[in-house]
Structure 1
Amino acid sequence: MRVLIVEDELYLAEAIRDGLRLEAIAADLAGDGDTAFELLAVNPYDVVVLDRDIPGPNGDEIARHVATLPAGPRVLMLTAADRLDDKAAGFESGADDYLTKPFALRELVLRLRALGRRPAAGTPPVVEFGALRLDPFRREVYRDGRYVSLTRKQFAVLEVLLTAQGGVVSAEDLLERAWDENADPFTNAVRITISTLRKRLGEPWVIETVPGVGYRVSEVTDAAG
């Protein structure tokens, strides 16, 4: 899952970003409305965590813009305003959920996972392909019923690959979906993560390298190997 945090309080925004990374959620930051529009134009996001009161175009304007995007991200409004009228205005602007400051990070994570599971967001509650089963809400992975312990980044990469359902995913796409905007496009992080992920999942290998193109998961099972 990749999230855009639109929040002008830098300390709070960085704290949210760091907390989400611990939950295998990649997060980018925008401190104002103009930056948010720029990032939304070039990056695919699953959810936008959106403060209503920000410099430049405000949260309501951004929410209305997101609502016009084909298969656009979900919007979770994050604000200090807790009056019902304020919440109603946020929902009317296109928000899918609303969280009032102050809040517990755990609650934010639960809400993000819930938004990501909604069918309209394109992500089923549980992703299955071949011998693999991934539950993004519980952060659990199984191969032929056997639990597989993964690191946060391995989990994020596998989630992108499984969502493709056997389709080839390029290294560039993996960087976009499983890392954040600070990822070096020339890094070998994808190759290293794929290598360690293969070992964690065990033999026979279920992640194939398509030379010059990218990676995909195969439908091989233990019984077939």
Structure 2
Amino acid sequence: MHILVIEDEEQLCCSIAEGLRLNGYETDTCFDGDEGLELCLTENYDLILLDLNLPGIDGLEILRQFREINSFTPVLILSARGQIQDKVEGLDLGANDYLTKPFHFEELEARIRSLTRRKFIQENICLKCGRITFDTRTRKASINNEELSLTRKETALLEYFMLHQNRIIGSEELIEHIWDGSVNSFSNSIRVHISALRKKLRTALGNDPIQNRIGQGYILTEDLK
């Protein structure tokens, strides 16, 4: 999952980003409204965390302009404005959720899980594909109830494949949702991490549920054995 955090309190912004990265989310940050709006309009994120009191363009104006061209990407407002009217205005402009500062990081994590599951129409916290199970709460994968030891990047890849199983996923899409802005389409990083993930799945399953479609991308299909 690729998340953008727009927050002018740099320490808080970096703290949120670091916590999300430790949980397997790729996270971009910015500290002012002008850059935030530009990123919203030019990049493809799975979720946006948006402060309201920003230098430059105000958070509500960012939300208004963003919703004119994008009605589906979840937006979670993080704000010290706790009045009912502020919440109503934010939600009416298209925010999916509103979290008042200060907040516990565990609550932020839970709301992020809820919003990302909602985006992919996934009601259960556990994703399943054949004998593979992925718990979106603990971010642990298992095969036949045996936990699979995965790196952070392998975990993010498997989750994305399981959310989009039986569909070909191209390298560009993986870059947008699993990597941050430092990786480009010519990087060998994608192949290396997917190869490592496939090797672990093949060892545990006895076959490879992720297939490479030359010139198109990768597809995860259900293991029936």
Shorter chain as normaliser: what TM range? 0.7 to 0.9
Listed as ranges, the matches of 1:17-56 within 5 Å are 17-56=17-56
C-alpha change, 1:123 and 1:193, in structure 2 (3 Å) is farther
> Does the 8 Å CA contact 2:41/2:66 hold for their aligned counterparts?
no
Matching of residue 216 in structure 1 with residue 219 in structure 2: yes
Residue of 200, 203, 210 corresponding to 1:207: 210
Match of 1:194 in 2: 194
Q: Secondary structure at the match of 1:219?
A: coil
> What is the identity, as a one-letter code, of the residue corresponding to 1:212?
G
Q: Which runs of 5+ in 1 are unaligned?
A: none
Q: How many residues align?
A: 220
Identity of aligned residues (%): 37
Answer yes or no: is the 8 Å Cα contact 2:17–2:28 preserved in 1: yes
* Distance in 2 (alpha carbons) for counterparts of 1:105 and 1:198: 32
Q: How far off its partner does 1:57 sit?
A: 2.1
- Structure 1: which amino acid aligns with 2:218? Y
Distance 1:57 1:72 in 2: 22
* Aligned: 1:79 with 2:82: no
Whole-Å separation in 1 of the counterparts to 2:43 and 2:68: 16
- Tell me if the contact between 1:66 and 1:72 (Cα under 8 Å) persists in the aligned partners: no
The equivalent residue for 2:161 is 161
Range 39-48 or range 122-131, more displaced = 122-131
Which is further off, 18-27 or 103-112? 103-112
2:188 maps to 1:185: no
The whole-number CA distance in structure 1 between the counterparts of 2:88 and 2:70 is 24
Q: Distance in 2 between matches of 1:144 and 1:134?
A: 11
CA contact (8 A) 2:37 2:66 kept: no
Where do residues 105-144 of structure 1 align in structure 2 (5 Å cutoff)? 105-118=105-118, 121-124=119-122, 125=124, 126-144=126-144
**Which stretch shows the higher mean deviation, 65-74 or 210-219?**
65-74
* Structure-2 residue corresponding to 1:96: 96
Q: Distance in 1 between matches of 2:69 and 2:120?
A: 14
Give CA deviations for 1:5-28 in whole Å, capped at 9, x if unaligned.
111222221221111000111111
Deviation at 1:71, TM superposition (A): 4.9
**1:144 shift after superposition:** 4.4
Once the two structures are superposed, residues 25-53 of structure 1 have per-residue CA deviations (whole angstroms, 9 ceiling, x without a partner) of: 11111222222222222322222100001
Rate the CA distance shift 1:94–1:110 in 2: closer, same or farther, 3 A.
same
